[in-house]
Amino acid sequence: MKHRKSTSTDGARASFAFRRRLALALVPAAAAFAAGPGIAVAQTSESSAQPGIEEVIVTAQRREQNLQEVPIAISAFTAEGIEKAMFNDVADYVTRTPNASFITNGARSRRQISIRGVTNFLGFVGTSTTGFYIDDFSVAGSTINPPIMDIERIEILRGPQATYFGRNALGGGISVTTKKPSNEFEGSLMADVSRFNTFDVEGVLNVPVIEDKFAMRFNVKSTTSDGNIENIHPIGGGNDSEYEYVRSSMRFTPSDALTIDASFLYATEDVGMREGVPSGVFSNFAGNVLFAGQFPDRDGDGNSDPFVDTVGFYPENRDRTNFNTPQSIGTSIRNGVIRIDYERNDLLFTSISGIINSDFFLNGDIDGSSRDFFNEFRNLERQSISTEFRVQNTNDSRLRWSVGALYAEDDGDDFNRTFVGAEEVFGLPQGFLIDREDSATRDNTWALFGQVDYDLTDRLTVSFGGRYSEETKESNISGFSGGFEQILSVKDTFTDFSPRLALNFTASDTVNLYATISKGFKSGGVQIAPNPDAETFDPEELWNYEIGVKADLLDQRLRLNLAAFYMDWSDLQVSFQENLIDENGDFILFGGVNNADSATSWGLELSTTAIIAENWLVNLNLGYLNAEFDRFTALIDGANRVLDGEVIPNSPDLTANIDVEYGFDFSATWEGYVRAEWVYRDEIKPNTTSLIYEGFPWDVPSYDFVNLRIGAESDSIRLVLYAENLFDDNFYTNAYQKAFAGGLFIEPSFRTYGLRATFMF
């Protein structure tokens, strides 16, 4: 197997470009010493006539608190910041977060997020190491990339968050708060036209039905695009897409003490192909099993080379594929939630109950070529039902407490069929079923949790919290891959107590110091395995030790948040796949999960915001990360590989981003701004398989890109002209194996530009 590497000239050119852009981006930041966490806006401070940085309110601990007073490393994005940065995808706000990263596997629904090196190594839809909540309701079992529209605030919490975010929040939690119905008749209509015939229309309507008692809010979004990849085969198509989103919510306040919120969401996305172009580098599975001897040996090394298929390989080819059978990939999500808040006698009672259901489908050509090798039809259904009840005090006392209980059911059904095409691979007839899986899984979970904050002195607060959970997993799986067949019915129960201890010291009115010790937990699971001993795998556990400082300085013109952490991680759940031809000539393919013995992760994070001059606002986020396996022997490509000391996949050493914004008035009724955004991610190994190989595409190079936005706004109209990836930088986050004949596939980067107009009433 060969690996194409970039030349030294290419590397020097990329290095020079990086240094040039880094220097340009750091000029305004250097003028202010440093700059900002999420997105912040300027306002007039009480102590000075000069503008100051606004206070940001977060609900990371399930009560409203000043961001600077919470002993957790948080990146918080306000409604105005979300609008100006034009967030459309989970990747948009992950790349604005220190020590956070993502890789993509050809679909919006297949992002894999890493926070502080804690990432999902399983690759399954519905699995995560990051808690994900919308309005305090967990959606992580069905989606890691929900729609972004009409959002009040996004919070990314770094480090384990078991107390309030539950199991599987090892690396951290993401909390999205939507805008609630209000007692004003208002709304907006947005139209966005951008490259690749992309049209995006959004509408918001808020209707007060009964004054001060009942209001409703409606959201509609529709996006269509031709996409940036063309299928040159006569069947046509490409990554053209259709995206629809509808959300309705209501707020009923029959009294000052009682508030009832209800919401329903429906979203669907249908894309014409799993996005990507061929890399020209075979995986071991494709090169040595599927297509061994099928294609010419162009370089004379005795092995088949990937099929050129007239389109060529990345990076020369960034926008063409050639597959002979239509593809379709997409997701639909349905979500309904009811929340009741009742406050009486300094106590707040909260009940949150909801259901989320998702269907993920992937159909059509999976060899990715104009020849007919394989076709796949896959459908994954996920449904989660949960109810949570909390009680907390609301009085302004030295003791603040919150306790709660949760019950949840998570169900999943997987349907997968892979058929041999007209090429009759392995001598099998066309239409022969080579791979099948039917599975039904159910997870029943209950948990008790709580936290107590006590002011030992006027300056020192101690917090203790924790969560006890019990999770029962049951799987009934029937399937085969090639010559390996198994029927499995297995059930197991996993229990855990995850404590958290924090100290917060108020050094001055504007400086807070904190220290935290916390545990994270991800439950074990059950699986098809070649032997009974491997039919269950162990839970993951992680201990996080963290210190930090949060400060508002220079008369609220400089906000500085700094954190240092060390994490000790055991029994990491890592997927593996074994594929071979046995002595009888039968094709054998099976996959599963095993546990890495141990790993450690430590690093530093800086998030600051600065007003460097009148009308100039700068945000800077920096992260340094060292994440490695301590002891781990993994089955990769047919052999046990010792990975002790290897970097944990999807863990860039350095992450950085800078936003620089200049605001101005150009008339009595119009305000304008110019905004530049720069994002940098260091090189990574994207998955465990890449740890045993070198070169392209296993080593993902560092990359950076620049966005530019120019906006103008009045009381009723907002206009934005924008360019994303302004310099058309050619980068990728990882290579994935799904379409085989042309080698691993890569989702390419591209430049886009457009105009957005919003009418508000």
In which band, very low, low, confident or very high, does the pLDDT at 51 lie, cut at 50, 70 and 90? confident
Residue 325 has pLDDT above 70, yes or no: yes
CB under 8 A, 24+ apart: contacts of 292-301 = 294/425, 295/741, 299/2, 301/2
* 110 or 466, higher pLDDT: 466
In which band, very low, low, confident or very high, does the pLDDT at 591 lie, cut at 50, 70 and 90? low
108 three-state secondary structure: helix
H/E segment holding residue 165: helix 162-165
**pTM (2 d.p.):** 0.89
Q: What are phi and psi of 81, to 5 degrees?
A: -65, -40
Mean pLDDT (whole number) for 176-204: 97
**Angular region, 555: left φ>0, alpha ψ -120 to 50, beta rest:** left
For position 292, what pLDDT does the model report? 78
Q: Which of 369, 271, 263, 358 is nearest to 312 (CA)?
A: 369
Lowest mean pLDDT among 23-32, 269-278, 393-402: 23-32
Token pair 């981006």 in the structure block, residue = 25
Token pair 């106590």 in the structure block, residue = 347
Query: CA–CA separation, 375 vs 373, rounded Å?
Result: 7
Query: CA–CA separation, 628 vs 427, rounded Å?
Result: 44
Its CATH class, for the domain covering 8-760, is mainly beta
| Per-residue pLDDT tens over the stretch 599-649 | 999 999 999 999 999 999 999 999 999 999 999 888 888 788 899 999 999
Q: What are phi and psi of 120, to 5 degrees?
A: -85, 110
Residues in Cβ contact with 323 at an 8 Å cutoff, skipping those fewer than 6 apart: 231, 233, 235, 273, 364, 365, 367, 368, 369, 370, 739
* Lookup: tokens for 323: 């597959």
Name beta bridge partners: 132.
Answer: 174
Q: What are phi and psi of 24, to 5 degrees?
A: -65, -40
> Under a CB-based contact definition with an 8 Å cutoff, are residues 462 and 454 in contact?
yes
734 three-state secondary structure: coil
> Under a CB-based contact definition with an 8 Å cutoff, are residues 559 and 610 in contact?
yes
For position 243, what pLDDT does the model report? 94
> Under a CB-based contact definition with an 8 Å cutoff, are residues 163 and 133 in contact?
no
Query: CA–CA separation, 45 vs 755, rounded Å?
Result: 34
> Under a CB-based contact definition with an 8 Å cutoff, are residues 758 and 745 in contact?
no
Query: CA–CA separation, 367 vs 273, rounded Å?
Result: 12
In which band, very low, low, confident or very high, does the pLDDT at 531 lie, cut at 50, 70 and 90? low
Can you give the C-alpha Rg of the chain in angstroms? 26
Q: Where are the domains of the chain?
A: 8-760
| Per-residue pLDDT tens over the stretch 450-494 | 999 999 999 999 999 999 999 998 888 887 776 667 777 888 899
Give the start-end residues of each E strand in 509-557: 511-522, 525-526, 536-537, 540-553
Share the mean pLDDT of the chain. 88
In which band, very low, low, confident or very high, does the pLDDT at 586 lie, cut at 50, 70 and 90? low
For position 165, what pLDDT does the model report? 92
Interior/surface letters 339-350, b for 16+ CB within 10 angstroms, e for the rest: bbbebeeeebeb
Residues in Cβ contact with 115 at an 8 Å cutoff, skipping those fewer than 6 apart: 97, 99, 100, 129, 130, 156, 158, 171, 172
Q: In the chain, how many H helices and how many E strands?
A: 5, 43
For position 191, what pLDDT does the model report? 98
Q: Using CB atoms within 10 A of its CB, is residue 22 exposed (0-12), middle (13-18) or buried (19+)?
A: middle
| Per-residue pLDDT tens over the stretch 74-97 | 999 999 999 999 999 999 999 999
> Under a CB-based contact definition with an 8 Å cutoff, are residues 186 and 216 in contact?
no
* 249 or 40, higher pLDDT: 249
> Under a CB-based contact definition with an 8 Å cutoff, are residues 722 and 685 in contact?
no
Residue 550 has pLDDT above 70, yes or no: yes
Interior/surface letters 658-695, b for 16+ CB within 10 angstroms, e for the rest: bbbbbbeeeeeeeeebebbbbbbbbebbbbbbbbbbee
User: Could you write out the three-class secondary structure of 66-95?
Assistant: EHHHCCCEEEEEEHHHHHHHCCCCHHHHHC
| Per-residue pLDDT tens over the stretch 691-710 | 999 999 999 999 999 999 99
Mean pLDDT (whole number) for 723-735: 95
For position 108, what pLDDT does the model report? 80
Query: CA–CA separation, 709 vs 673, rounded Å?
Result: 8
Q: Which of 376, 414, 334, 337 is nearest to 143 (CA)?
A: 334
Query: CA–CA separation, 10 vs 21, rounded Å?
Result: 17
Residues in the chain: 761
In which band, very low, low, confident or very high, does the pLDDT at 581 lie, cut at 50, 70 and 90? low
Lowest mean pLDDT among 282-291, 387-396, 497-506, 663-672: 282-291
- Quote the percentage of the chain above a pLDDT of 70: 89
For position 44, what pLDDT does the model report? 38
Residue 245 has pLDDT above 50, yes or no: yes
For position 514, what pLDDT does the model report? 98
* 521 or 566, higher pLDDT: 566
Amino acid, single-letter form, for residue 31: A
In which band, very low, low, confident or very high, does the pLDDT at 222 lie, cut at 50, 70 and 90? very high
Residues in Cβ contact with 148 at an 8 Å cutoff, skipping those fewer than 6 apart: 82, 87, 88, 89, 92, 176
Residue 560 has pLDDT above 50, yes or no: yes
For position 145, what pLDDT does the model report? 85
